[in-house]
Amino acid sequence: MSATPTTATACTCPECEANVPFARRPLQGEVVRCPDCSAELEVTALDPITLELAPEVQEDWGE
């Protein structure tokens, strides 16, 4: 049996331009946190991996 190699990837935070590492290939729509500024980032594209600030979740009061 041979193990499938995993490739660590990284991307740049659009908020602070820090390196945002990934232990595995992210999924489109996945939300990650920047290790430097703690911004919530959404993976918006996979080739190349693109991050954008995740939209803030607004409270739903049943309106």
Please write the tens of the pLDDT for every residue from 22-48.
999 999 999 999 999 999 999 999 999
Residue 57: per-residue pLDDT = 72
Q: Burial level of 41, CB count in 10 A (0-12/13-18/19+)?
A: buried
Would you identify the CATH topology of the domain 9-53? Rubrerythrin, domain 2 (2.20.28)
Residue 56: per-residue pLDDT = 81
- CA pair distance 63, 59, nearest whole angstrom: 10
pTM of the model: 0.75
The tokens for 59 are 């409270």
- CA pair distance 22, 3, nearest whole angstrom: 19
